[in-house]
Amino acid sequence: MLQLKDVVEGTAATVALLTKHGITGTLAEEKAALFAEAGKLLVANGVANTDPVSCYFVPGRIEVLGKHTDYAGGRSLLAAISKAFCIVCSDRTDNSCSIYSTDKPDDPVITTMGSEEDSTKKLPQGHWSNYPLTALRRICRNFGSDTELKGVNMSIACDIPAASGMSTSSAIICGVWIALSNRNNLKEHPNYKANIKREEDLMEYLGCCENGQNFRELIGDKGVGTFGGSEDHTAIMSCTPGNLHMYSYCPTVKESIIAFPSDMTFIIAVSGAIAEKTGDKMKSYNDASLLAKEAARVYCESTGSKIEPLHLANCVKASKDSGASDVLSDVSEKIKSHLEKGAAAAFSAELLVRRWVQFYQESEEIIPQAGKALEEANYKHFGELVDKSQLLTDTHLQNQVPETVALAAMGRELGAKAASAFGAGFGGSVWALHTSKEAPAFMEQWKTAYAAKFPEASAKASFFIMTPGPGAIKL
Angle between helices 312-321 and 327-340 (to 10 degrees): 100
DSSP-assigned letters across all residues of 96-157: EEEEEETTEEEEEEEEETT----GGGGSPTT-TTHHHHHHHHHHHHHHSSSS----EEEEEE
pLDDT bucket at 90, cuts 50 / 70 / 90: very high
Q: Which of 51, 36, 42, 48 is nearest to 2 (CA)?
A: 51
- CA dist 251 → 142, 229, 255, 295 (Å): 20, 10, 12, 19
Cα separation, 415 vs 247, in Å, equals: 29
Give the 3-state secondary structure of residue 422: strand
> Which of the two residues, 44 and 114, has the higher pLDDT score?
44
Cα separation, 301 vs 306, in Å, equals: 8
Nearby residues of 317 by Cβ (< 8 Å), 6 or more positions away: none
**Contact indicator for 32, 45 with CB cutoff of 8 Å:** no
Nearby residues of 266 by Cβ (< 8 Å), 6 or more positions away: 62, 79, 431, 432, 433, 465, 466, 467, 468
Cα separation, 257 vs 76, in Å, equals: 12
pLDDT at 227: 58
Cα separation, 463 vs 450, in Å, equals: 11
Cα separation, 201 vs 459, in Å, equals: 41
**Helix, strand and coil in the chain, % to nearest 5:** 50, 20, 30
Most confident of 209-223, 226-240, 457-471: 457-471
264-299, pLDDT tens digit by residue?
Answer: 999 999 999 875 544 455 566 678 889 999 999 999
pLDDT at 302: 96
Burial label for 323, CB within 10 Å (0-12, 13-18, 19+), is exposed
pLDDT bucket at 122, cuts 50 / 70 / 90: low
Phi, psi (deg, nearest 5) at residue 163: 50, 45
The percent of residues in the chain predicted with pLDDT above 70, rounded, is 94
Work out whether strand 96-101 and strand 152-158 pair parallel, antiparallel, or are unpaired.
parallel
Residue 343: is its pLDDT beyond 70?
yes
Cα separation, 88 vs 40, in Å, equals: 10
Cα separation, 267 vs 455, in Å, equals: 20
The percent of residues in the chain predicted with pLDDT above 90, rounded, is 83
**Contact indicator for 89, 53 with CB cutoff of 8 Å:** yes
Mean pLDDT of the chain: 92
Omega of the bond prior to 402 within 30 degrees of 0, cis? no
Burial label for 5, CB within 10 Å (0-12, 13-18, 19+), is middle
Q: Which of 356, 351, 304, 365 is nearest to 331 (CA)?
A: 356
Sequence length of the chain is 475
Phi, psi (deg, nearest 5) at residue 113: -75, -5
pLDDT at 273: 87
Q: Which of 206, 232, 236 is nearest to 218 (CA)?
A: 206
- CA dist 175 → 14, 17, 59, 252 (Å): 18, 18, 9, 20
pLDDT at 278: 46
Mean pLDDT in residue range 56-69: 97
**Contact indicator for 380, 348 with CB cutoff of 8 Å:** no
pLDDT at 274: 76
Omega of the bond prior to 105 within 30 degrees of 0, cis? no
Cα separation, 434 vs 374, in Å, equals: 13
pLDDT at 473: 97
Cα separation, 127 vs 278, in Å, equals: 10
194-213, pLDDT tens digit by residue?
Answer: 999 999 999 999 999 999 99
Residue 116: is its pLDDT beyond 90?
no
